[in-house]
Amino acid sequence: MIDFHTHAPAWNSGGWLAGAAFAAADFLAFMDGAGIEQAVVLGHDGLFDPVPSANDDLAAFVAADPGRLHGFGTVQIRRPGAADEVERMLTVLGLRGLKIHPWLQGFSAHERALDDVCDTLRRHGGILLSHDGSPPYSTPAQIAALARRHPELPVVLGHGGLHDLWREALALTAETANLHLCLCGTPPYAARRILAEAPPGKVLFGTDAGLSDRPGQDYAVARVEEIAGWGITPAQRQAMLRDNPRRLLGGADDR
């Protein structure tokens, strides 16, 4: 399976949102134990302080196994040179996408500073993943509006609307061609409805692994086990855990 939502260690920002410092080997061992072959690894420190060095640290972490770990860096979108840093992330550091967290990072997805950032991301074949489900910033509708301004850019709702906005996430994913939805922290009753009603090619899965203070990422293992209770069909499982993430991430890797 491909886990589309995990986090790098909290080297500098552990404690508040959870997370801890752990080695790449620990993370790969967790993946092996949970049956996760590949993972999208979002930053952690960069969500609180989006400086370029956070992207360097993330790149060093995923370099432990580039065939299995796909890093998504981050930038402060209002900072001069944000688009240049996106270009550096993708072309120099080998990262695969951009994670934005409008709530923690304090901006709105409607801000025009994002357009330059998204254009650069698209030009270099990157993917945009946004936190979502936390109003007033980070609602699925705001992210969908951004996706519609950049119809060639693959955009992922990182949390499927969470508890309050999953219906909105579901509706907008169905209506917006380049918008995808990651079931991650989405409650089980919502996951069941989303699986039943969303376009099958649009659904991804993520554990949010990396936010535990235990190297074994116990809650993430539980989230993998939770999938079985969603009434998922073999075809939906194949699409969500393998075909859809592979289509977005590209590559002919057989894992």
Please, what is the minimum distance in Å from the beta carbon of residue 126 to Zn ion? 18
* Closer of 6 and 176 to Zn ion (Cβ): 6
Tokens of 4: 């589309």
C-alpha distances in Å from residue 129, one per residue of 42, 78, 96:
9, 18, 11
Q: For Zn ion, which is the closer residue by CB, 45 or 208?
A: 208
CB of 78 to Zn ion, least distance (A): 22
Site string for Zn ion, 167-196 (x = CB under 5 A): ------------------------------
Shortest Å, Cβ 5 to Zn ion: 6
Binding part of the chain for Zn ion, among 88-96, 106-114, 174-182, 203-211 by CB under 5 A, reads 203-211
Run of H or E residues at 127 = strand 127-130
Nearest distance from residue 44's CB to Zn ion, in Å?
9
- In the DSSP assignment, the letter for residue 79 is S
- Percent composition of the chain: helix, strand, coil (DSSP 3-state, to 5): 45, 15, 40
Instruction: Give, to the nearest 10 degrees, the angle between helix 166-175 and helix 140-149.
Output: 20
Q: How far is the CB of 142 from Zn ion (least distance, A)?
A: 17
| Using rule CB under 5 A, residue 3 touches Zn ion | no
Residue 104 CA to residue 16 CA, distance in Å, equals: 12
Question: Among 202, 208, 239, 241, which residue interacts with Zn ion (rule: CB under 5 A)?
Answer: 208
Which residue, 85 or 208, is less far from Zn ion as judged by CB?
208
Closer residue to Zn ion (CB): 132 or 208: 208
Length of the chain, in residues = 255
The region of 43-51, 145-153, 204-212, 218-226 touching Zn ion under the rule CB under 5 A is: 204-212
Piece in contact with Zn ion (CB under 5 A), picked from 25-33, 80-88, 200-208, 232-240: 200-208
Distance separating alpha carbons of residues 72 and 99, to the nearest angstrom: 6
Q: Which stretch binds Zn ion (CB under 5 A): 25-33, 70-78, 95-103, 201-209?
A: 201-209
Q: Nearer to Zn ion by C-beta: 57 or 208?
A: 208
Measured N-to-C along each axis, helices 113-123 and 82-91 cross at an angle, to the nearest 10 degrees, of: 20
List Cα–Cα distances, 145 to 90, 128, 141, 248, in angstroms. Answer: 24, 13, 6, 20
Which residue's Cβ has the minimum distance to Zn ion? 208
Measured between alpha carbons, how far is 73 from 55 in angstroms, rounded to an integer?
A: 5
Binding-residue total with Zn ion (CB under 5 A): 1
**Which chain residues interact with Zn ion by CB under 5 A?**
208
